[in-house]
Amino acid sequence: MRWTVARALWLAGILTVALPSASSLAKDAPVVTYSGLKFGSNGAASLRVELSSSAPVVLKQEGKVTQFLIDGATVKRRNNLNPLDASFFCSTLLRAKLDKKKEGVYVSLELREAVPVSHRLTPVGSGAVIEFSVPAREGSGAGCK
């Protein structure tokens, strides 16, 4: 008997069923809270991405455009999606960009030449930091201007 009463109330629009929304399911997803570049004196560069919680990082593409996926992560502040231009530095790295997609956040590193890019995930408090390291350009020592 209870089922028919509840069904009648639901059909009449009086009773609603609360289903979890996509945004509430994503509340537990890691959030990118900061991204920034750092350059060494030898021309090496590193991109630092801070997250609200740890997330797996997957290499998706290598070459002059190297791409990593921070699986399941999201970006809430639009400013964190702005490209980081490094073209005026004497570095292998030209540009770094974060792109928010359904499967997570893609980190795209546009390089002057294809070099192996490494990454390291470090837990920090309740969050995590991912550091993407780009080695110095070939022959970019003292002659770099």
Tell me what pLDDT residue 42 has.
Answer: 86
Categorize the per-residue pLDDT at 26 as very low, low, confident or very high, splitting at 50, 70 and 90: low
Query: Residue 78 falls within a domain, yes or no?
Result: yes
Q: How far apart are CA 119 and CA 99, in angstroms?
A: 18
Give the pLDDT confidence of 71-129 residue by residue, as tens digits: 999 999 999 999 999 999 889 999 999 999 999 999 999 999 999 999 999 999 999 99
pLDDT > 70: percent of the chain? 77
Query: Residue 13 falls within a domain, yes or no?
Result: no
Q: How far apart are CA 109 and CA 143, in angstroms?
A: 24
Query: Residue 7 falls within a domain, yes or no?
Result: no
Tell me what pLDDT residue 18 has.
Answer: 47
Query: Residue 42 falls within a domain, yes or no?
Result: yes
Tell me what pLDDT residue 70 has.
Answer: 97
The domain of 55 spans 21-134
Query: Residue 61 falls within a domain, yes or no?
Result: yes
**What is the three-class DSSP state of 22?**
helix
Q: How many domains does the chain have?
A: 1
Query: Residue 14 falls within a domain, yes or no?
Result: no
Tell me what pLDDT residue 1 has.
Answer: 47
Tell me what pLDDT residue 57 has.
Answer: 96
pTM, rounded to two decimals? 0.77
Q: What is the CATH number for 119? A: 2.60.40.3470
Tell me what pLDDT residue 138 has.
Answer: 72
